[in-house]
Amino acid sequence: MSAKETNNKIIRGIIYALISSITFGLLPFFSIPVKEQGMSTETLMFYRFFVSAIIYGIYLFFRKANFKLSKKNIRDIILIGGAGYGLTGLTLVSSYNYIPSGIGTTIGFQFPVMISIFMWLFYKEKLQKTIYISLALSLLGVFLLSYSPDQGLVSGFGIFLLTITNLMYSMYIIGVNKSSMKEIDSSVLTFYVISISMILCLALSIIRGTLIPIPSLMAGGNILFMSIFSTIIANLTLILAIKAIGSTITALLSPLEPVTAIIIGIIVFNENINIQIITGVIIIILAVVLIILNGRKKTE
């Protein structure tokens, strides 16, 4: 590959990574207006995953993807994919009921720190000084985002939901790498994970009696765009970015996701912003970047 081709590949990879981060960060923009029309989180997530699975399935069909799975693959997708990816979406969007969406997305962005802790607890990976620093920074960042001298804690339950978000997504990422799921083509795996998450959300909607038709054309449009942008395009460009520039550089560009959510929160939803919140966001992003750079150093 020539130097020009290499540079073009890097530029494409960076563009893919930026698109992925921005489209993931658009989730509050599409989801909150639908929830304001009375739709429950689990029903909203069901429609999101349902539309995504149909569009993504058609894309893979014309790509002639191999959909075959072993019994072990099916078990791991149900246990790890459904619980990890499905519950991540449910708890993150549910947190928007209790915490401003920009703050919620930022707190839910700490999964790399959680992954490092899990790898230490369950796989005996050594915790380096960088991990301790990142953990301390994360806790400080969460405190700055969730507490104010005037109002106290923003929402204890909201913080709890976001903790579950980080736990579930960390388990999902580790599970993909440590289970039979790593044998499956990444695009096909994404389709199956979305599909099992759809079934989980449908079951929850039926059990809770919250399953309702899409209430309006506007809500339908938001669900469609959420499915296309914040699910399909976000995941596809993430895969393309990793293939073009690697996981480390892709991850280093991912802080644009919470930044996008915060900008949308301020402009669209009139969410509050002050020096304390800005400081908290910067500290959490710094903690995540330290984890990513530490991971790169370990692999060199």
Number of domains in the chain: 1
| Best CA proximity match to 28, nearest among 232, 216, 259 | 259
Domain of 194 in residue numbering reads as 3-299
| Per-residue pLDDT tens over the stretch 59-87 | 999 999 999 999 999 999 998 888 888 99
Q: What is the pLDDT of residues 87-97, one digit of tens each?
A: 999 999 999 99
Q: Which residues of 114-150 are buried (b: 16+ CB within 10 A; e: fewer)?
A: bbbebbeeeeeeeeeebbeebbebbeebbebbbeeee
Segment 158-168, tens digit of pLDDT: 999 999 999 99
Q: How far is CA 52 from CA 33, 110, 216, 230, in A?
A: 19, 25, 19, 10
Q: 5-9, 48-52, 77-81, 145-149 — which one is most confidently predicted on average? A: 48-52
Average pLDDT, integer, range 271-288: 90
| Contact between 89 and 235 (Cβ < 8 Å) | no
Are 264 and 26 in contact, with CB atoms under 8 Å apart?
yes
Q: Which helix (H) or strand (E) holds 206?
A: helix 186-208
Kindly state the helix (H) or strand (E) to which residue 152 belongs, with its residue range: strand 152-153
Q: Which residue has the higher pLDDT, 242 or 149?
A: 242
Q: What is residue 249's predicted lDDT score, i.e. its pLDDT?
A: 76
- CA atoms of 76 and 176, how far apart (whole Å): 9
Both tokens of residue 37?
Answer: 């029309």
On average, the pLDDT of the chain sits at: 88
Share above pLDDT 90 across residues of the chain, in percent, rounded to a whole number: 51
Who's near 290: CB < 8 A, 6+ residues apart?
130, 133, 134, 137
Query: 298: pLDDT confidence band, cut at 50, 70 and 90?
Result: low
Q: Which of 300, 247, 248, 290 is nearest to 128 (CA)?
A: 290
Per-residue pLDDT, 75: 93
**Confidence at residue 33, expressed as pLDDT on a 0 to 100 scale:** 96
Bridge partner list, 153: 147
| Backbone dihedral angles phi then psi of residue 147, each to the nearest 5 degrees | -135, 140
> Quick one: pLDDT band at residue 246, thresholds 50, 70, 90?
confident
pLDDT of residue 196: 94
CA 22 – CA 16 distance, rounded (Å): 10
Which pair of tokens denotes residue 195? 């599909």
Question: What distance, in Å, lies between the first and last C-alpha atoms of the chain?
Answer: 23
Evaluate if residue 218 carries a pLDDT over 90: yes
pLDDT at 151 over 80: no
